[in-house]
Amino acid sequence: MPTRANGAPAIVNHVRAPGEETARLISVDVLRIRGGRIVGIHCFLGSARLRAFGTSVAAG
């Protein structure tokens, strides 16, 4: 799911286990763009870090 973090483009990644109705947030990848190209990706893992982005750990 595309989003933004601190003004930079970011991707929110969820995973849903077989048989579960709710997907859980596993990471936020913040992209560093220079000259129209991705030059860096900062990956944030762990529920404490993910809450800092103001996103829910669970998604329906």
pTM for the complete prediction?
0.69
Confidence check: pLDDT of 19 > 90: yes
Q: CA-to-CA distance for 27 and 13, rounded, in angstroms?
A: 5
pLDDT at 50: 65
Radius of gyration over every alpha carbon of the chain, rounded to an integer in angstroms = 13
Instruction: Indicate the pLDDT class of residue 42, thresholds 50, 70 and 90.
Output: very high
Count CB atoms within 10 A of the CB of residue 34: 8
- What six digits make up the tokens of 27? 């990471």
Q: What is the dihedral of CA 19, 20, 26, 28, to 10 degrees?
A: 110
